[in-house]
A and B are shown apart, each in its own frame.
Chain A
């Protein structure tokens, strides 16, 4: 009876001791940063741009690694299953908030503490330059006159195009168009320039340069105001005010630690990434790529994600794109 007791006491003392020393000199070893998406993607670029400065502030190194697959679920699960000691971070995008309703996994960001939500994107609807319509109204008229003829690019259920399409269908009713699947908005926009598809809902940043050069025709931005990068493009609410209820909406990038990570480690990380996202070169990068800098953490980040998840999952549910109802997971209807 005594031996286990002593062992427990020793363990408690040492465990406590370890906890204290960790708090004092976190980080005392290198931190693993797991990027959910592949090398060269926008999540990858953003994370690799923000990390060096955070390393400076932390005075330690963050080793970045791409763990891809399963729409990012493989990387997410790896971090969720690692020790919550502040030495494994998830560098992800918005997708995990849809995993549950899409049947892609049991875990999402509710199993994590947000360190920083860095930025969010704005969707834009672009068409090939010789398309016989110039704005939202004429595009809709054309689609209705030529059922199933217009080809929309898509990137699978849960991707930005699927959500934007769900918004349009929510406002306009079922769209009589043909959806051609691509594995990302980059390849789809390439196909648009090669005339393999006619219209693509994409993230602003991916389309800016093509629009400026006249290789793509902008139809509308999915925001309530004009965006400064493309001041001539009309916001979608100008065409139809009903879109206002979904906006602002956009994909986002964030850094997360598994739930249970010591508070002081979280605070140290939050401070480091806040400073990193605040530097001018990072702001400039976000601006060039058409992202809106958010740089939020804590309660603000959690509220943002809760609202995002509620809006998006119910939108997809109403469009019939989900595998399970958000209700099953206690996601409130907006």
Chain B
């Protein structure tokens, strides 16, 4: 009964209700602008809400969190610039849809799928938080490393056309991620004694450059071509469409919740792994992945919103942040006199149910705000290219500057933009570069931790790998995914299932806008 009362606190109090709604609305726009992040917004709110009570402060933060994770998809679909790293995979299929005049449909399905994913995350948080957090805690450095390897195999999915070029791009990304002062030993790597390189290359700047600026430069090729007319009759997806993708969305939500609950991994990795999963399990998509497949939107969008609920799992049960945003929220709870930790759920169960209630409300607000105003938004894509290209460039510069208020990041961003343009021209996929940068530290740090823990003995490392059930499962998945991408396996499968349909690959290179 008290649980129920705590759950509905946020629904019954008009002020709290309004704060969640306002937060979600603001979050969508903060998330949509590349460079402005939810992490930044929530940390500013700590000072802003200092004199408030704890409930309104948390209500506002939750709204921004939920809205922000969803908002990243907006610019990814319309402009090919992911508003946040967790929307990278969304751009892969969302933008091709917008270019065909289906931006409205893409945003519609994204919104509904974010809602479903968000819900799945909240349900797991509400019913299974202690179990999931115990499991997440059992991940050893070795397992995190295997997870990163699993992620790296995504290069196979992201590299349309030439696998060799994809591997090159992925390796380049991995290397870019290691530049700067190593956070574990404070040793400088690839800095050549240049102070500028000491703090590394801003990953967001690389992302905005590779996606935004290179896209703007590519569009200059067809500056006089009229923009595609957007169809706006199919915005809210039909029930049959939703039902068709429900099984996939449940699987990718599960990936999202779990990756979100792991301390140290968040929505960006969840979305990419989910995308890869979708590509593997979808037998014959209506359109090829990378060319505007609906499944390519369903997977990352359910996963990144499910990761929100996931991130709260270790926070509420153990006081351990599931991602950067929950890390700040833990600080907020401290400031407001609560002691987030393993005892919080025992001593203050009301807080837990209050947060669950606020998350549910934020999820509904997201659905509502997401589905209204789409007609207006798709007009952006209909603008003539002479307006669109400067707009993308402007947004890219502002976004890159906003990350650290640093002009250096703008130079990096422009440099990677031009570099990305030439890579694209010569058929190198850009997706794997970003993938490499994202996974670089996860792989590097955890490999080192794993091998140091085994006193630098490789046999002991492999012994651990095959004796721990969790590591073994991850290791076998890595091997399976690797083998399943070799020509030998594909031939064997084809031989077994009879003559297969032609493999679903994206069309001609000039259509493959990103991957």
Instruction: Select B50's contact among A49, A212, A214, A215, beta carbons within 8 Å.
Output: A49
Please name the residue on chain A nearest to B263 by beta carbon: A190
Given A39-B324, A181-B184: A65 touches B319 (CB 8 Å cut-off): no
* Residues of chain A in range 33-75 having any CB-CB distance to chain B below 8 Å: 39-42, 44-45, 48-49, 51-52, 64-71, 73-74
What residues on A are CB-neighbors of B46 within 8 Å?
Answer: 45, 48-49
B183 touches A183 (CB 8 A): yes
Please name the residue on chain A nearest to B335 by beta carbon: A49
A156 touches B141 (CB 8 A): no
Q: Is A320 an interface residue (CB 8 A)?
A: no
* Residues of chain A in range 148-205 having any CB-CB distance to chain B below 8 Å: 148, 151, 156-158, 178-183, 186-187, 190-191, 193-197
Q: Is A262 an interface residue (CB 8 A)?
A: no
Q: How far is the CA of A212 from the CA of B141 in the complex (A)?
A: 26
Instruction: Select A186's contact among B183, B320, B343, beta carbons within 8 Å.
Output: B320
Q: Is B190 an interface residue (CB 8 A)?
A: no
B183 touches A40 (CB 8 A): no
Q: Mark contacts of A92-104 with chain B using CB atoms, 8 A cut-off: 1 yes-contact digit, 0 otherwise.
A: 0000000000101
A209 touches B342 (CB 8 A): yes
Q: How far is the CA of A51 from the CA of B455 in the complex (A)?
A: 46
B199 touches A68 (CB 8 A): yes
A288 touches B137 (CB 8 A): no
Q: How far is the CA of A214 from the CA of B343 in the complex (A)?
A: 10
**A62: shortest Cβ distance to chain B, in Å?**
9
A181 touches B452 (CB 8 A): yes
Q: Is A210 an interface residue (CB 8 A)?
A: yes
A289 touches B334 (CB 8 A): yes
* Residues of chain A in range 206-247 having any CB-CB distance to chain B below 8 Å: 208-210, 212-215
**A27: shortest Cβ distance to chain B, in Å?**
17
B186 touches A102 (CB 8 A): yes
Given A69-B180, A71-B186: A179 touches B43 (CB 8 Å cut-off): no
B181 touches A69 (CB 8 A): yes
Name the residue in A68, A158, A178 with the highest tally of chain B Cβ atoms < 10 Å from its Cβ.
Answer: A178
Q: Is A285 an interface residue (CB 8 A)?
A: yes
Instruction: Select B341's contact among A45, A179, A212, beta carbons within 8 Å.
Output: A212
Instruction: Select B321's contact among A151, A186, A191, A196, beta carbons within 8 Å.
Output: A186
Q: How far is the CA of A315 from the CA of B76 in the complex (A)?
A: 52
Stretch with Cβ within 8 A of A (4 or more), from B2-10, B63-71, B325-333, B352-360: B325-333
A70 touches B199 (CB 8 A): yes
Q: Mark contacts of B159-183 with chain A using CB atoms, 8 A cut-off: 1 yes-contact digit, 0 otherwise.
A: 0000000000000000000001101
* Residues of chain B in range 137-169 having any CB-CB distance to chain A below 8 Å: 137-141
Given A44-B43, A181-B184: A187 touches B264 (CB 8 Å cut-off): yes
Q: Is B453 an interface residue (CB 8 A)?
A: yes
Q: Is A284 an interface residue (CB 8 A)?
A: yes
Q: Number of A residues contacting the other chain (C-beta, 8 Å)? A: 54
Q: How far is the CA of A105 from the CA of B184 in the complex (A)?
A: 18
**B439: shortest Cβ distance to chain A, in Å?**
16
Q: Is B405 an interface residue (CB 8 A)?
A: yes
A215 touches B138 (CB 8 A): no
Q: How many A-B residue pairs have CB under 8 A?
A: 142
* Residues of chain B in range 287-338 having any CB-CB distance to chain A below 8 Å: 314, 318-321, 324, 327-328, 330-331, 334-335, 337
* Residues of chain A in range 269-285 having any CB-CB distance to chain B below 8 Å: 281, 284-285
* Residues of chain A in range 117-155 having any CB-CB distance to chain B below 8 Å: 148, 151
**B440: shortest Cβ distance to chain A, in Å?**
13
A183 touches B184 (CB 8 A): yes
* Residues of chain B in range 38-94 having any CB-CB distance to chain A below 8 Å: 39-40, 42-44, 46-47, 50-51
What residues on A are CB-neighbors of B181 within 8 Å?
Answer: 69-71
What residues on A are CB-neighbors of B375 within 8 Å?
Answer: none
Name the residue in A74, A179, A197 with the highest tally of chain B Cβ atoms < 10 Å from its Cβ.
Answer: A74
B198 touches A74 (CB 8 A): yes
B341 touches A196 (CB 8 A): no
What residues on B are CB-neighbors of A183 within 8 Å?
Answer: 183-184, 445
Q: Is B385 an interface residue (CB 8 A)?
A: no
Name the residue in B137, B139, B340, B445 with the highest tally of chain A Cβ atoms < 10 Å from its Cβ.
Answer: B137
B341 touches A210 (CB 8 A): yes
Q: How far is the CA of A102 from the CA of B181 in the complex (A)?
A: 13
A194 touches B137 (CB 8 A): yes
Given A68-B199, A69-B198, A187-B264: A209 touches B339 (CB 8 Å cut-off): yes
Given A71-B186, A212-B343: A288 touches B50 (CB 8 Å cut-off): no
Q: Is B486 an interface residue (CB 8 A)?
A: no
Given A181-B184, A193-B318: A209 touches B341 (CB 8 Å cut-off): yes
Q: How far is the CA of A157 from the CA of B187 in the complex (A)?
A: 10
Q: How far is the CA of A181 from the CA of B182 in the complex (A)?
A: 11
B342 touches A210 (CB 8 A): yes
Q: Is B185 an interface residue (CB 8 A)?
A: yes
What residues on B are CB-neighbors of A193 within 8 Å?
Answer: 137, 318, 320
Name the residue in A44, A187, A193 with the highest tally of chain B Cβ atoms < 10 Å from its Cβ.
Answer: A193
Please name the residue on chain A nearest to B405 by beta carbon: A65
What residues on B are CB-neighbors of A66 within 8 Å?
Answer: 43
**B75: shortest Cβ distance to chain A, in Å?**
22
Q: Is B506 an interface residue (CB 8 A)?
A: no
A44 touches B331 (CB 8 A): yes
What residues on B are CB-neighbors of A49 within 8 Å?
Answer: 46, 50, 335
Name the residue in A41, A68, A195, A213 with the highest tally of chain B Cβ atoms < 10 Å from its Cβ.
Answer: A213
What residues on A are CB-neighbors of B318 within 8 Å?
Answer: 193, 210, 215
Q: Is B130 an interface residue (CB 8 A)?
A: no
* Residues of chain B in range 8-50 having any CB-CB distance to chain A below 8 Å: 39-40, 42-44, 46-47, 50
**B1: shortest Cβ distance to chain A, in Å?**
26
Given A40-B324, A180-B449: A213 touches B343 (CB 8 Å cut-off): yes
Please name the residue on chain B nearest to A148 by beta carbon: B455
B47 touches A288 (CB 8 A): no
Q: How far is the CA of A209 from the CA of B318 in the complex (A)?
A: 9
Please name the residue on chain B nearest to A193 by beta carbon: B137
Q: How far is the CA of A162 from the CA of B44 in the complex (A)?
A: 32
**B350: shortest Cβ distance to chain A, in Å?**
18
Q: How far is the CA of A117 from the CA of B512 in the complex (A)?
A: 57
B50 touches A48 (CB 8 A): yes
What residues on B are CB-neighbors of A42 within 8 Å?
Answer: 331
A156 touches B185 (CB 8 A): yes
Given A69-B200, A181-B448: A288 touches B337 (CB 8 Å cut-off): yes
**B135: shortest Cβ distance to chain A, in Å?**
10
What residues on A are CB-neighbors of B184 within 8 Å?
Answer: 156, 181-183
A209 touches B340 (CB 8 A): yes
What residues on B are CB-neighbors of A288 within 8 Å?
Answer: 334, 337, 339
Could you write out 5 A-B pairs with CB less than 8 Å apart?
Answer: A67-B404, A194-B139, A212-B342, A288-B334, A288-B339
Q: Please give the residue numbers on chain A whose beta carbons come within 8 Å of chain B beta carbons, in ascending order.
A: 39-42, 44-45, 48-49, 51-52, 64-71, 73-74, 102, 104, 148, 151, 156-158, 178-183, 186-187, 190-191, 193-197, 208-210, 212-215, 281, 284-285, 288-289
Name the 8 nearest CB pairs between A and B, nearest first.
Answer: A209-B341, A69-B199, A213-B342, A40-B327, A39-B43, A45-B331, A181-B184, A40-B328
